[in-house]
Amino acid sequence: MRSFDVLIVGGGPGGSSCAWKLRGSGLRVGVLDRATFPRDKVCAGWITPQVVEELELDLEEYAKTSTCQPFHGFRVGALGGEDVAVDYGAPVSFGIRRCEFDAHLLRRSGAELILGESVRSVRSTEGGWVVNDSLRASLLVGAGGHFCPVVRLLHPAPADPGVVVAAQEVEFPLDSRAAAACTVRPELPELYFMDDLRGYGWAVRKGAFLNVGLGRQDSHDLGAHVGRFLDFLHARGGLPPGSPRKLRGHAYLLYGLSPRPLVRDHLLLVGDAAGLADPRSGEGIRPAIESGLLAASVVLRAKGRYGWSDLMPYETAMVGRFGRRDARAVSALSALVPAALRPRIARWALASRFVAKHVILDRWFLHRDLAPLPAT
């Protein structure tokens, strides 16, 4: 039996960031993942600058071996309507490939890695848990993404799972001809919102790769929505002829609309396991990383005591960072505008440079006024 102070299930950005923050603490930290790394993750791979600072990432160094595409802004519009380009003239966020980024974060986390092993069983014991009858842990951190097996220890499958975002993407290399033909500029990814404001499609170039996809707060007819978006993109030159049209899908929950609790005795949830994606942009990497870092800070302060009351400061810290975990706190435009008026208002608003820059980009997507989490 191997014993850990902290066993993290899931080596994505949430789990690896938690482990990284615990490095050098004297705690024995393990990360268990069913995949071996590098592994891919269905994702557009767009990250905001806060995480670069929070994780002390040296992007210049990173870019020597991995794709790291600076984004100077975005082209924003309504699907089939007008669009505007907002260029900040300097990098405001970055495009990475998850197969590289996640492996990099996990490698430098300093944790003992148990890879290629799925969670088969979790048993509660005096003072902790036993996983797969072979790994003992005083504290279990559920960081296994939307379908994390640790979630059900905390929250049996609810009748109402909350608002589940269904999203699909495909990422593929562009040969030199396709790269020259593609109208999407590498430094200016494109976002096209749907008339009902319940989702958007994207086209993101990252070095030699193009990632296209679409996410919606409603999985009904997702394939048809994706098909229409690909046709639209193709017609405007954003999807070169011969590009793959078979996309991979995944799901996630939005912060404020997820019913999953965060804490129980000897157990914490971070990232998609907790359902933390931003309700307006769908950004999930920063919330996963920040929740992992906040969880680790609470673990460090708990000094080996992992009862419910010792871990509750994590929930308080999360509310401090992300706001009250309450559906009423979510002010998505789709909830504010009556359904019948949405298409007209969406097209008008999305064609406005002011709305695109100051509301959609500055506030919803880039959180320009949000400082990175302090290192302490």
Ligand X SMILES: Cc1cc2nc3c(=O)[nH]c(=O)nc-3n(C[C@H](O)[C@H](O)[C@H](O)COP(=O)(O)OP(=O)(O)OC[C@H]3O[C@@H](n4cnc5c(N)ncnc54)[C@H](O)[C@@H]3O)c2cc1C
Which chain residues interact with ligand X by CB under 6 A? 9-15, 32-35, 41-46, 118-119, 143-145, 147-149, 167-169, 213, 215, 250, 252, 271-273, 277, 283-286, 288
* Nearer to ligand X (CB atom), residue 100 or residue 342: 100
Which residue stretches of 108-190 are H helix?
Answer: 151-154, 176-181
* Nearer to ligand X (CB atom), residue 232 or residue 337: 232
* Nearer to ligand X (CB atom), residue 304 or residue 323: 323
CB of 102 to ligand X, least distance (A): 7
CB of 251 to ligand X, least distance (A): 7
* Nearer to ligand X (CB atom), residue 138 or residue 211: 211
What does the alpha-carbon distance between residue 221 and residue 82 come to, in Å, rounded to a whole number?
24
Place of tokens 């976002």: 191
| Rounded (5°) CA angle 283-302-284 | 5
Q: Is the dihedral of CA 368, 104, 283, 74 positive or negative?
A: positive
CB of 356 to ligand X, least distance (A): 18
* Nearer to ligand X (CB atom), residue 164 or residue 359: 164
CB of 93 to ligand X, least distance (A): 9
CB of 341 to ligand X, least distance (A): 28
| Rounded (5°) CA angle 317-273-218 | 110
* Nearer to ligand X (CB atom), residue 20 or residue 252: 252
Number of residue whose CB is nearest ligand X: 284
CB of 170 to ligand X, least distance (A): 9
* Nearer to ligand X (CB atom), residue 8 or residue 298: 8
Look at residues 324, 349, 323, 353 and name the one whose alpha carbon lies nearest to residue 336: 349
* Nearer to ligand X (CB atom), residue 5 or residue 102: 102
CB of 51 to ligand X, least distance (A): 9
Residue 188 DSSP symbol? B
Long-range contacts (CB closer than 8 Å, 24 or more residues apart) made by 63-67: 65/100, 66/96, 66/97, 66/100, 66/101, 66/104, 67/95, 67/96, 67/97, 67/100, 67/206, 67/207, 67/208, 67/209
Long-range contacts (CB closer than 8 Å, 24 or more residues apart) made by 22-25: 22/110, 22/111, 22/296, 22/299, 22/300, 23/109, 23/110, 23/111, 24/110, 25/300
DSSP 31-71: EEESSPSS---SS--EE-HHHHHHTT--HHHHTTTS-EEEE
* Nearer to ligand X (CB atom), residue 346 or residue 366: 366
* Nearer to ligand X (CB atom), residue 290 or residue 347: 290
CB of 324 to ligand X, least distance (A): 20
Cβ-based neighbour number of residue 91 at 10 Å:
16
CB of 156 to ligand X, least distance (A): 17
What does the alpha-carbon distance between residue 155 and residue 258 come to, in Å, rounded to a whole number?
12
| β-strand pairing of 263-264 with 267-269 | antiparallel
CB of 159 to ligand X, least distance (A): 23
Q: Answer whether 313's CB lies under 8 Å from 153's CB.
A: no
